[in-house]
Structure 1
Amino acid sequence: MRTVDVARESGYSVQQVRDLERLGVIPSAARSSNGYRSYTAAHVQALRAYRGLAGAVGPVEARQMLTELRTETIAVAAAAIGAVHVRLARERDEALRAQQALRAIQGETDTSEPEQEGDTMTITQLAAALDVRPSTLRFWEQEGLVTPERVTSLRVRRYGLAAIRAARIAAALRASGYGIPAVRDIMDSLHRLDGPGETRRILQRRLDDIAVRTVALLRAGTDLAAVVTSVPGPSAAR
């Protein structure tokens, strides 16, 4: 196949095909004696796989992944693709928990039952639940996004239900691309009568975006499988 043929089949421009070959996204094309590139159907599949993967994780990570997949065993390559599915599922679960937290915040009243000991989390537990570093929670505390309780004798941070809910919403907003000042403004608005409306819309857009990325990955499934099964087997020399 000529470069123009691959471009037509993959939906990329001729220059994009050449650029993605140069970046290692697709294997290097064979060269004829006169220097012309010669591609195969495998190059088209790799380009389609890249399109779907880029829609799921972004172009930079997709380029890196596809470059690495071709040098890994089939087991490692398949696991890497599976990890993307797991990540998207986790992002969706966290966005849904943020929605639940928002509903809980809206439903809170002064007559709420007091929190029990089992309702609190340590900074390590909360960081693990949100898939962030403990240092991130400390930074959010400094910025006024999440306020923990403290065990006064040891100065150990403990987070009650209100703080856990706020942390889930803050995490979802940050994952949606909102900067700290914007997140602070949104968090400050939650207890106003009209405040939760915009947060609800942001979280729904987050879920919609995750759904679009998931569909992009699913559409790339056959082409990604072709890329993965073209890598060396478990017994191949590394």
Structure 2
Amino acid sequence: MGRNLQSGARLRPVDLARGHGLSTQAVRNYEEAGVLPAAARTAHGYRTYTSLHAGALRAFLALVPGHGHQTATSIMRAVNRGAVGEAFRLIDESHAQLLDDRRTLRAVESALGDLEPVTAASEPGGGMFIGPLADELGIRPATLRKWERAGLLHPRRDPRTGYRVYDEAAVRDARLAHQLRRGGYLLEQIAPLIARVRAAGGLEPLEAALRDWHGRLSARGRAMLTGAAELEAYLRERG
């Protein structure tokens, strides 16, 4: 394992806690969870830590913003039990998830860019019946009904005939779903994206949400770099 875990200056739990803005209980919890190597004990049973434990704590706290608390914990546990390859696999999975999230964002932006204002003839009372909408999209009415069952569409019912009527928002949702399906996305992947459009109140307000989405993905990517640097420093110190 390289150097002795207890080499160098001895640190009390309170020293480690104050140096990282934590409580002493949090430090003990991290040790018990395997985030930190096991501490030595004094003759009276008190924990003592070293600079190695401080490095482990720095690495963990740096990993959390990019990978999340659970994955960061699993990474540190793997490192501390000597399973560095497992730790790298967990890191790779986080990077793959970030890449998938970027692809999803690009797909949403592309789909939104391909949408056009509703120009098809409306039915009396406003909106489109299922047949004309299916024809416009080049799909079967059964497909629209399937999307409705999956929660992608919420057409209203004509009070006289009981037929489905798609207002402007429902037509927009159908077109967005169509674009994403053409991009290879599954219905369960599309549903939360359309929910974002609805929550934003349409396409124009969604632009702010998309900018925020970009910002959060960039922040995650940068946090992963910071976490990688601290983890590398910890690995070097472990030897």
Under TM normalisation by the shorter chain, which class is it?
0.5 to 0.7
Contact 2:63 2:226 in 1 (8 A): no
Equivalent-residue separation in structure 2 for 1:98 and 1:204 (angstroms): 12
* Structure 2 residue identity aligned to 1:98: V
**Corresponding residue of 1:192:** none
**Corresponding residue of 1:221:** 228
* Structure 2 residue identity aligned to 1:81: I
Equivalent-residue separation in structure 2 for 1:200 and 1:209 (angstroms): 14
Equivalent-residue separation in structure 2 for 1:230 and 1:92 (angstroms): 34
Larger Rg: 2
Unpaired segments of 5 or more residues in structure 2? 1-10, 121-135, 139-145, 155-176
Check if 1:38 corresponds to 2:48.
yes
Cα shift readout 1:81-131 (whole Å, capped 9, x = no counterpart): 233223212212321221122111247977xxx999xxxxxxxxxxxxxxx
Check if 1:185 corresponds to 2:198.
yes
Structure 1 residue 221, shift from structure 2 partner: 1.8
**Corresponding residue of 1:86:** 96
Equivalent-residue separation in structure 2 for 1:53 and 1:89 (angstroms): 17
**Corresponding residue of 2:165:** none
Aligned length: 187
Contact 1:4 1:14 in 2 (8 A): yes
Equivalent-residue separation in structure 2 for 1:166 and 1:204 (angstroms): 24
User: Which structure ranks higher in relative contact order (CA pairs < 8 Å, sequence separation ≥ 6)?
Assistant: 1
Contact 1:88 1:210 in 2 (8 A): yes
Structure 1 residue 48, shift from structure 2 partner: 1.7
Equivalent-residue separation in structure 1 for 2:102 and 2:187 (angstroms): 13
* Structure 2 residue identity aligned to 1:174: P
**TM-score when scaled to structure 2?**
0.61
* Structure 1 residue identity aligned to 2:109: Q
Q: 1:7 and 1:78, CA in 2 relative to 1: closer, same or farther beyond 3 A?
A: same
**Corresponding residue of 1:197:** 204
Among residues 69, 92, 103, which one is paired with 1:59 in the alignment? 69
Contact 2:41 2:47 in 1 (8 A): yes
Check if 1:47 corresponds to 2:30.
no
Unpaired segments of 5 or more residues in structure 1? 117-138, 148-158, 190-194, 233-238
Pairwise CA RMSD of aligned residues?
Answer: 4.0
